[in-house]
Amino acid sequence: MHTDTQPTILLIAPVMDALQAALDARYRVFRLYEQSDIPAFLVRHGADV
């Protein structure tokens, strides 16, 4: 579960499952590589990361 107080990070490429799980537990994780419209995503969320 993510909260508003968790730091936000941006992954630009997939990582190992164990690392992904650890990041998900501690951070709000955005996955740039999963976005269908990267420019729109960055306009919307760029200031957060």
Q: What is the pLDDT of residues 32-43, one digit of tens each?
A: 999 999 999 999
3-state secondary structure of 28: strand
Residues spanned by the domain of 43: 8-48
32 belongs to a structural domain: yes
Q: 9 pairs with which residues across the strands?
A: 29
Q: Is the pTM of this model over 0.75?
A: yes
2 belongs to a structural domain: no
37 belongs to a structural domain: yes
Distance CA 46, CA 19 (A): 23
15 belongs to a structural domain: yes
User: Where are the strands (E) in 1-49, listed by range?
Assistant: 8-11, 28-31
43 belongs to a structural domain: yes
Which tokens go with 4?
Answer: 């508003």
Which tokens go with 1?
Answer: 């579960």
Number of domains in the chain: 1
25 belongs to a structural domain: yes
Residues in the chain with pLDDT < 70? 1-3
